Amino acid sequence: MVNNYKKVLNLLIVILFANFLVCAVKLVIGNITGCLSLQADGFHSLADGSSNVIGIIGILISSRPSDFKHPYGHRKFEVLSCLFIGLMLGYLCIKVAVTGIYTLIYPGSISFTPFELMAVGSTILINIIVSVIEYKLGKKWGSSVLVADSIHTKSDILISSGVLAGITAMRFGLPPQIDGAISLFVSACIAYSCVEILKPAISTLVDSRVVDAELITLEVKKFLQVMDVHKVRSRGVQNDIYIDMHVIVNPLASVIESHTLAHDIENALQNLFGKSTQVNVHIEPFDETTENNII
């Protein structure tokens, strides 16, 4: 990930301009036609652009090397930016829901031209391209911000498709209350995206387990010198994992042998989970007390 920060940053800048273009199209057409669901969708696209700005700030900070105050680096600032994106979506969800309820109670007249419908359709195409690129490169480069933003953009695709379907339905004579119903649908989609982004961000911040301890134990026990393994823990994110454990060895093993074993275990786990994985192995001599109190 360290070598990919610049790539992620450049991609976010490009996507930022794409999102603002989509936002402008939706808001202009929404204001011209008086379609509140399209205006709500436009504000959602504005949130997409705002999330790019937050992501850029998070990447700029998280790319800094470790220092005296931050010996583990600044990686969690990227996770904090994901958390902020999720909270921002939560606020937007409430705002759009209130607008939808108001529209259901006080509907207004709406009219569209074929050109305006085509313009909305083009924004969906742009979002599909952006979402696919973000997700694939986010996974490839190990960027939680790109993955989170791709989830955000996917919700925008679904929302825009629903708005376009509602606009088409109104052209065929359905009542204008459909605009309010679609706004509530937009709100529900934003809520789902919010949870989808917040859940992994919070999980990382509270140091939830990243790797199954049993998987680590099985890999470590492949070494003949290892008599047992316990207190296996992991935290971080998939491309930036921290693992520590206690490994029990023969009490007659030398310091050099134990040191070599620890390095071999570290290399094995890095081959399994990625070269960026950091492993801390605590060597313990085998005795009866250890055998009876392994947890």
Same domain, 178 and 238: no
Local structure of residue 284 (DSSP, 8 states): E
Same domain, 190 and 254: no
Same domain, 13 and 132: yes
Same domain, 65 and 196: yes
Tracing tokens 């790319």 back to the chain, one arrives at 63
Query: Considering just the CA atoms, what is the radius of gyration of the chain in Å?
Result: 25
* Residue 192: exposure state from Cβ atoms within 10 A (0-12, 13-18, ≥19): middle
Domains in the chain, number: 2
Up-side HSE of residue 145: CA atoms within 13 Å toward CB? Answer: 35
Same domain, 175 and 193: yes
The encoded tokens of residue 186 equal 């937009």
Same domain, 31 and 169: yes
pLDDT truncated to tens, each residue of the chain (295 aa)?
A: 556 788 888 898 888 888 888 888 878 887 887 766 667 667 767 767 777 888 888 888 988 888 888 888 888 888 888 898 888 888 878 887 887 888 788 876 666 667 767 777 888 888 899 889 999 998 888 888 888 888 878 877 877 777 777 777 777 778 878 878 887 887 888 888 889 889 989 999 999 999 999 999 999 999 999 999 999 999 988 778 999 999 999 999 999 999 999 999 999 999 999 888 999 999 999 976 645 445 4
Check which CATH number belongs to the domain holding 276 and give it: 3.30.70.1350
Same domain, 190 and 261: no
Q: Are 213 and 130 within 8 A, CB to CB?
A: no
* Proportion of the chain in helix, strand, coil states, percent, rounded to 5: 70, 10, 20
- How far apart, in Å, are the Cα atoms of 189 and each of 96, 102, 157, 180, 263? 11, 18, 10, 14, 48
Same domain, 110 and 132: yes
Domain boundary among 152, 180, 205: 205
Q: pLDDT tens digit string along 217-254?
A: 999 999 999 999 999 999 988 778 999 999 999 999 99
Please choose, from the candidates 143, 149, 134, the residue with its C-alpha nearest in 3D space to the C-alpha of residue 45: 149
Q: What percentage of the chain reaches a pLDDT higher than 70?
A: 91
Domain that holds residue 271: 213-292
* Coil, helix or strand at residue 276: coil
